[in-house]
């Protein structure tokens, strides 16, 4: 693995760094682990250097965090590692940010998850208390999450001292980037007027903006410089490897059955079919199961059968049998047995026309995988990632429960920031989203059916990936395949008590199905696969980019 510091890390810290070098909470947790492990170590200095740099990267992702700014200044008083210009910026943020004494109303709004009302309240508080950056920081976080860039721009429109330029450039550049104006984003991220520094996170986003403008050679120079400065930021290595050495493939090597099941979502299903039909279907047949719908789904299916002819097979059921049973019904159809691959696609997902090319590249790179999946983002708000690659958290060693064998929790750095291309890569993982995932039909047959205990829906796809993982098969995440999803998954979408109860019940079923030893073995295999994958790719990439620029 690139960088001698890797050998100094304990297993949990190494695992977390291999999972991601992005996501503010993820970075803070990992940095604290590394620094705590440095006590009593012969390599204390090297470990502290890595941990402190991760603190700095976390601040770069959220530069109005007053507490983090204060912590970095305290560390700098001991280590003196920060340039004076950055010290001035951190000092301004730290001295103009304080946690208000009464946060009761804010906490009530947060508990209600009324984001529009919360945005209005934060806007009012920011206007009333411009001297306290606490309010501005939280306002900007929510405004970006909701794609309310006009709110963010208005909140930033005030007179600032020049020492705040790196912070302003970060947010203004992000507004341009998330709006798709990569030329403007480039101009802002690269601004060094009045001696402004360019933080490392801004440089990565600058590289991505350049690459999206077709200026890859310039992007490669920046990627190489960032990999040298922060070799622990594995996302850059994985992404650069795919962009430079692994272009998209061709059609999948064999016949593909794309399977959908739907219930009372005729309009969404029709939209999904439109985009799927716009992709090459030379080697594709679509099987669509109407799960007892009472709307006009049957008519929509007849329309698509007329349009696609022998490329489309409708399956009609009189009642809704739930997601896992619908998956099983489709995979066990006699007609499916003649296909090489089976893909399941949600009825409210939008696939790009080149989906086969990305899956083909993943299959070529990892031919023995049990399942291949994609990156899923919000439809209409593509900078918000719903799902990327799932890697499990370790269950605490003192965990005891009469029913559960382990605690189902996973590392989720992809949910901790917006999508600036930092998860655009292909690699092994424990599980991928069931929104759009691909199997070899032979593996799907051997692995067994989706477990009916997870009816009507939720976690049946995760459980199936665990079944594969227990058998020694890996899931593979193809983050270069971006799929738009209309429904917000998980807690962001759940509004009814019954739905929340069903989801919580399925988590309990998952936690009681697998033993602690099985889950520990899955995590250990995942870490070794990540290590091997990163080592191989970083060595190959290093040989290619060393003389660039």
381-409 residue pLDDT tens: 999 999 999 999 999 999 999 999 999 99
The pLDDT of residue 194: 79
Per-residue three-class SS string for 294-329: CCCHHHHHHHHHHHHHHHEEEEEECCCCCHHHHHHH
Q: Distance of CA 481 to CAs 431, 438, 506, Å?
A: 16, 12, 28
Extract the tokens encoding 448: 């067994």
pLDDT digits (tens, 9 = 90+) for 482-538: 999 997 544 344 457 788 899 999 999 999 999 999 999 999 999 999 999 999 999
pLDDT score of 493: 43
What pLDDT does 496 receive?
72
Q: Name the pairing type of β-strands 426-429 and 381-387.
A: unpaired
- The predicted pLDDT at position 467 comes to 97
Q: Which segments in the chain show pLDDT lower than 50? A: 1, 489-494
Give rounded-to-5 percent helix, strand, coil for the chain: 55, 15, 30
Instruction: Please tell me the predicted confidence (pLDDT) of residue 494.
Output: 45
* CB-neighbour burial class of residue 183 (10 A; exposed 0-12, middle 13-18, buried 19+): exposed
pLDDT, residue 89, reads: 97
Residue with tokens 């696939």: 351
Strand partners, 485: 349, 378
- For residue 492, the model assigns a pLDDT of 41
CB 151 within 8 A of CB 119: yes
Return the pLDDT at 63.
98
- C-alpha distances out from residue 467 to 321, 413, 434, 473, Å: 22, 24, 14, 9
Cα–Cα nearest to 383, from 178, 193, 230, 232: 178
């Amino acid at each position: 693995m690139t960088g001698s510091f890797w050998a100094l890390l304990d297993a949990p810290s190494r695992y977390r760094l291999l999972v991601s070098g992005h996501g503010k909470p993820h970075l803070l947790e990992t940095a604290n682990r590394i620094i705590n492990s440095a006590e009593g170590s012969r390599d204390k200095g090297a470990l502290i250097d890595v941990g402190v740099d991760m603190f700095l990267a976390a601040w770069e992702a959220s530069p109005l965090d007053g507490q983090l700014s204060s912590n970095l200044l305290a560390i700098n008083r001991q280590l003196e590692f920060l340039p004076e210009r950055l010290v001035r910026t951190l000092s301004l943020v730290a001295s103009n940010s304080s946690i208000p004494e009464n946060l009761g109303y804010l906490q009530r709004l947060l508990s209600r998850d009324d984001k529009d009302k919360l945005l209005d309240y934060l806007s009012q508080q920011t206007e009333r208390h411009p001297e306290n950056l606490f309010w501005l920081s939280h306002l900007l976080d929510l405004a970006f999450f909701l794609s309310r860039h006009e709110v963010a721009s208005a909140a930033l429109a005030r007179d600032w001292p020049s020492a705040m330029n790196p912070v302003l450039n970060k947010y203004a550049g992000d507004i341009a980037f998330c709006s798709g104006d990569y030329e403007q984003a480039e101009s802002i991220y690269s601004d060094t007027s009045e001696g402004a520094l360019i933080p490392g996170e801004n440089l990565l986003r600058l590289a991505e903006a350049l690459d999206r403008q077709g200026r890859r050679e310039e992007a490669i120079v920046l990627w190489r410089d960032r990999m040298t400065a922060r070799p622990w930021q594995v996302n850059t290595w994985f992404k650069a490897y795919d962009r430079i050495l692994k272009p998209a493939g061709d059609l999948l090597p064999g016949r593909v059955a794309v399977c959908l099941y739907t219930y009372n979502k005729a309009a969404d299903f029709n939209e999904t079919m439109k985009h799927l039909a716009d992709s090459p279907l030379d080697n594709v047949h679509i099987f669509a199961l109407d799960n007892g719908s009472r709307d006009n789904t049957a008519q929509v299916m007849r329309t698509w059968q007329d349009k696609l002819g022998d490329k489309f097979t409708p399956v009609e059921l009189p009642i809704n049998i739930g997601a896992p049973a619908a998956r099983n019904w489709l995979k066990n159809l006699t007609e499916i047995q003649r296909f090489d691959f089976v893909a399941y696609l949600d009825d409210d997902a939008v696939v790009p026309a080149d989906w086969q090319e990305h899956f083909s590249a993943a299959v070529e790179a990892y031919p023995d995988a049990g399942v291949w999946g994609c990156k899923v983002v919000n439809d209409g708000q593509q900078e918000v990632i719903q799902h990327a690659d799932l890697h499990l958290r370790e269950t605490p060693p003192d965990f005891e429960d009469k029913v559960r064998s382990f605690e189902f929790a996973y590392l989720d750095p992809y949910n901790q920031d917006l999508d600036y291309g930092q998860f655009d890569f292909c690699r092994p993982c424990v599980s991928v989203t069931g929104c759009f995932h691909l199997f070899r039909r032979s593996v799907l047959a051997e692995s067994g059916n989706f477990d009916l205990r997870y009816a009507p829906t939720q976690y049946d796809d995760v459980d199936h990936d665990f079944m594969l993982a227990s058998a020694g098969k890996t899931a593979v995440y193809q983050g270069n395949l971006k799929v738009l999803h209309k429904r917000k998954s998980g807690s962001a979408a759940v509004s009814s008590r019954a739905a929340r109860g069903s989801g919580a019940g399925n988590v309990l079923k998952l936690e009681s199905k697998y033993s602690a030893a099985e889950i520990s073995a899955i995590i250990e295999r995942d870490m070794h696969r990540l290590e091997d994958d990163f080592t191989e790719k970083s060595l190959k990439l290093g040989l290619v980019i060393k003389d660039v620029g």
